Structure 1
Amino acid sequence: MPSYTWRSIWNAKWVLHLGGLWRIGNGRSISIKEDPWLPNQNGFRIWSTCSSFDSETRVEQLIDQETIRWREDIIRQNFYHFEAEQILNIPLDQNQQEDCYYWKKSKNGECEVKKAYHLIRSQPQNHAQSSNQEHQNRFPWKLLWNTKALNCTLNFTWRLLTSSLPTRINIQKRGITSTSLCPRCWRKEETEEHIFKDCTWTQRFWFASPFNLRTERAQNHPIGAWIEELLNQIRKGERGLFLECLHAIWWGRNKLIFEDKKIDIQELVNRATLRYQEFTVMSMPTENFTAEPPPGSRSLMCWVPPEPNLFKLNVDAAISNEGANGGGAVIRNSEGEIMVAATWLFSTTSTIEAEATACLLGLNLALECCFFLFSLRRR
């Protein structure tokens, strides 16, 4: 069996046919009745019956090989008037080069992903596809992106709403042979609706969650409409927890499939709750506090901690009358804990040079210790 990559390319060949047609050279490679070669025709193929031609008749039969001109009498006898005019207006290559296939929708004749995407979007869709696309287009995306939650959770929810998750039914649609049944209940196909609200396991999960939802009442709701409805009903401060619960369902599903681990429902609920609580704590603005100078210090300045998840590098230098110059650096986190500290002796001729040398050595220290997110302060 051909590889999945090759099968994907082959299944998308219809996109090339949407905008591809033959440019006439000697006409020997182009079938009059089967191939697209009329540049101004819808679909680029002839509409005339051409009963005197069969599927193997080539365009070269319409060209006088001595004068390299169209055989007007044959063309007007076999084609509709408007098609005959199109054919007679196609310029012929006097050098009789080979025919070539090109993409009419781009200026250079090559198929471009951007052009192909817009061409596909302009094509009529079937009812199921158009309904799904219509709901995606009208989903209030600001409602999702304004929800306070982890970035990975927001991205996961976006993939869920755009049918981008590799559910078993979606994998089958992409040509991969596999079972489509839900790995938890083995009764129905694993669609987005089934995974996140309709499966009996999922119904127990939502009832055990902080929201105490009864999802069996929404079995006829598309997943996007259901999520939109709940996001509007849930208090703003709890929307992130709802998205975390969705993410926990998917995480538990992957654990079951790829690691053969059955995660208890209450454990998944606790995991979602804990992740949301940790995110909420990390998102809270920290109060500005200062650390008093250590005993014996003559400095009047107080140490100000950096923002959470950042480190602060403090450097200082001094010059003595005896010529023993040196500097020091210390890196601390937002809690004031010392991560690393160092001192150096060096030879300088001025205070400014000593301070600059201390800054350089402090930055080198931070890089050597892999502290990439930090703020620098010179005392």
Structure 2
Amino acid sequence: MRNKSLYTIMLSATAGMLLQSCGSSLPENKFLKDSTVIAATEVSIVKKGRLASTVDIPGELQPFQQVDLYAKVNSYVKQLYVDVGSEVKQGQLLATMDAPEINSQLSAAQSRLKSFEAIYIASKANYDRLLETSKTPGTISPNDLDIALSKQNSDKAQYDAAKAAYNEVVNNKDYLQIRAPFTGVITARNVSQGAYVGPSGKGSDLPMFTLQTRQKLRLVVYVPEAYTGYVEHHSEISFTVQSLPGEKFTAHVTRLAGALDEKLRSERVEMDVLNNDKKLLPGMVTNIHIPLTANDSTLIVPSGAIVNTTQSVHIVKVENGKAVWVNVQQGREAGDETEVYGNLKAGDTILTTATDEAREDMPIGNTKVSGSPNK
């Protein structure tokens, strides 16, 4: 009897648990049914306008002019007149070299020049005398006069050749002086007094000096393909450098490559930067701010309205109380707004914050326009 009573109690407890379980499933099913409707949410109105933004691209300041100065002839450094950091003027003497063989060549060329000059003077004088004498009939035969003229012309040619050889050696001697080709600053010096120098690859692997301009710099930036349409001649841009925080500099676009780099897929853009105060230095890395201002008005939506999935990029449009997916292409972003291109028009109503849970044709509950009371 006792066992039967215990069996009855256990059966009653099991039945109660089953009834409780069945009762709790009803609200859960109701919730699943209600979840097919998008609850009250905020919506926005698609508007048309011009979206202005900026893009930051790293650039580099380069000297407007730069040259590596090598010795033009093989020689030894005799005297250096400048060092790293020296500001020089155009034509200023930077260094002198010594080449004993050039002095010997100059002496030999000068001797040959004087010798051929004397021979030419003598042959010319002889021809002039014969020509004057020939004016008296029967004194000088025409053949002798022609021979004298040929001798004069031959000596004149040899004299001219000796003069050219002499001038060549003189020019080589002038090469023993290194002068600044333009006004600038010496940024590198790779030789000392007594060093053997020569043309690049024929005595010197490194240049004697590197000369750069500082009062005018060249700002170089490679603009990605997506932004090339916003950069034009004379466009004004601003830039900053890390060494001068808080200071902003401006420049105007001076040169456009007009083609994309095959590897970077970017266009080289150059700007001239005046640097009279010499705050900026060649080689500085800059952060360039390029304004991206649209020429024509476009459709603008909240950035949160765009849904990116593996299948599509879309916006959830509210039409007749239901969700409608509209595929779009994204443009530029500025703050919390984004340009879009697709089957939309100004005045359309869209979900301000959309997710991929808002399926196609799903009913939408109460809505309110962002920043306004409920409809």
Question: Under TM normalisation by the shorter chain, which class is it?
Answer: under 0.3
Structure-2-length-normalised TM-score: 0.16
Task: Between the two structures, name the one with larger relative contact order (CA 8 Å, sep ≥ 6).
Answer: 2
- Structure having the higher strand fraction is 2
- Structure having the higher helix fraction is 1
